[in-house]
Amino acid sequence: MIKIAAAQLWVHDQDEALAFYTQRLGWEVRTDVTLAEMGNFRWLTVAPAGQEEIAVVLMAIPGPPVFEPETSEQVRQLMAKGTAGTVFLTTDDCRASYEELSSRGVEFVDLPEERPYGIDASFRDPSGNHIRLTQELPVPVA
Amino acid sequence: MVFAPPARHLLRAKDLADARYFEPLDVDDMARAAGLSRAHFSREFRRAFGESPHAYLLTRRLERAAALLRLTDRSVADVCFSVGLQSVGSFTTSFTRTYGVSPLAYRATFPPAAAYAVVPSCVVRAYGRPQRSTFREDSAPARD
């Protein structure tokens, strides 16, 4: 059986991203390892407390020799414009989560709104990555 | 500390339009969110996102207005104010130019908003139950 273990987000600064995901979002650090033999590559993963089986990799945008400078810059620009990726989260109570995260300084893009599938809001991380927060409605019974 | 690319600040202004379109927000507010002078901001925003901040904010409002026309039975004036616009006349003009039909004509091309309302079964049962003409007949004052 194949399962999802982790998915990656580019971040412009791993320390800032780590502070955001742990202090503002309240997630846990799962791995934070810097490998000197690999040009100080830092494998940094975070995940919500209580969800053991999956993590988000906060990946620094590499320079040469992994990416040539033009590619690094293109990724940096796409990320800053908010077009580098989205993570979809679910919550039991979207409005409560919105209040809690707002009070910790999270920048919301969409305020909680009723949609046919539930209540839904979204915010960004410091790098510009888009994160949706959905409270799914039970399927209505006719 | 690695600083975010300048486009990140333009994105903050774009997000402000998406998050607060229903408030009396204008391009000056967006420029402030990006920390740039208005003229510089408009130029940089257009370079990053391909359209002016004014066009982005207006089309965000029109998109939300179109949704309200489809999904609610609110009046055109209410819809206009609900998306942060102040003049019903300008709203009708911009809407018609963008969607090719007036707000009311646009609404008429969709099923009525009531068709989308997911009313809980307890309400359907309580309010939908037909009332017979004999309701309370036995307790009404005698008509003799």
Residue B13's Cβ-side half-sphere holds a number of Cα atoms within 13 Å equal to: 29
Record: contact B5-A15, CB cut-off 8 A: no
Give the strand order in the sheet containing A130-136: A86-90, A130-136, A118-124, A107-115
Closest residue of chain B to A126, computed from CA coordinates: B4
Distance separating alpha carbons of residues A107 and B47, to the nearest angstrom? 24
Residue from the list B2, B10, B15 with its beta carbon closest to the beta carbon of A12? B2
Q: Which residues of B touch A130 (CB under 8 A)?
A: none
Residue from the list B2, B11, B15 with its beta carbon closest to the beta carbon of A13? B2
Q: Which residues of B touch A120 (CB under 8 A)?
A: none
Record: contact B8-A80, CB cut-off 8 A: yes
Q: Which residues of A touch B7 (CB under 8 A)?
A: 77, 80-81, 128
| DSSP β-bridge partners for residue A57 | A8, A45
DSSP A23: I
Distance separating alpha carbons of residues B89 and B79, to the nearest angstrom? 12
Which tokens sit at B93? 């003009």
| pLDDT of A79 | 93
pTM: 0.78
Q: Does A25 have pLDDT greater than 80?
A: yes
Q: Does A121 have pLDDT greater than 90?
A: yes
Q: Are strands A41-47 and A28-35 parallel, antiparallel or unpaired?
A: antiparallel
Q: Which residues of A touch B8 (CB under 8 A)?
A: 12, 80, 127-128
List alpha helices for chain B, DSSP H.
7-20, 27-34, 38-49, 53-71, 76-82, 88-99, 103-108, 121-128
Residue from the list B10, B19, B121 with its beta carbon closest to the beta carbon of A111? B19
Taking chain A, what is the end-to-end CA distance rounded to the nearest angstrom?
Answer: 36
10-residue mean pLDDT profile of chain B (144 residues): values are 87 94 96 96 96 97 95 94 96 97 96 79 83 79 63
Distance separating alpha carbons of residues B77 and A29, to the nearest angstrom? 50
Q: Does A139 have pLDDT greater than 70?
A: no
Closest residue of chain A to B124, computed from CA coordinates: A142
| pLDDT of B14 | 96
Record: contact B49-A81, CB cut-off 8 A: yes
Q: Does A107 have pLDDT greater than 80?
A: yes
Mean pLDDT, range A16-45, rounded to an integer: 93
All residues at 6 or more sequence positions from A116 whose CB lies less than 8 Å from its CB, including other chains: B116, B118
Closest residue of chain B to A127, computed from CA coordinates: B4
Helix (H, G, I), strand (E, B) or coil at B24: coil
Closest residue of chain A to B1, computed from CA coordinates: A13
| pLDDT of B80 | 97
Record: contact B4-A109, CB cut-off 8 A: no
pLDDT digits (tens, 9 = 90+) for A60-73: 999 888 899 999 99
Q: Which residues of A touch B6 (CB under 8 A)?
A: 80
What's the sign of the alpha-carbon dihedral A22, A28, A34, A40? negative
Helix (H, G, I), strand (E, B) or coil at B88: helix
Q: Which residues of B touch A127 (CB under 8 A)?
A: 4, 8
Record: contact A126-B4, CB cut-off 8 A: yes
